[in-house]
Amino acid sequence: MFSLKGSIVALVTPMEANGDISWETLNNLIDWHIDSGTKGIVIVGTTGESATVDVSEHVQLIERAFQHSDGRIEIIAGTGANSTKEALFLTESAKKAGASAALLVTPYYNRPTQKGLLEHYKLIANEVDLAQFLYNVPSRTACDLLPETVSELSKRKILLDLKRLFPDPGRLEELKPSYLMKIFFCIRVMT
The catalytic site residues sit at 135, 163
Q: Please tell me what DSSP assigns to residue 20.
A: -
* Exposed / middle / buried, residue 16 (Cβ in 10 Å: 0-12, 13-18, 19+): exposed
Q: Tell me, what DSSP letter sits at residue 40?
A: E
Strand partners for 21: 15
The amino acid that residue 81 corresponds to is A
3-state secondary structure labels for all residues of 39-87:
CEEEECCCCCCCCCCCHHHHHHHHHHHHHHHCCCCEEEEECCCCCHHHH
* Contacts of 91 by beta carbon, 8 Å cutoff, 6+ apart: 77, 79, 102, 104, 124, 127, 128, 130, 132
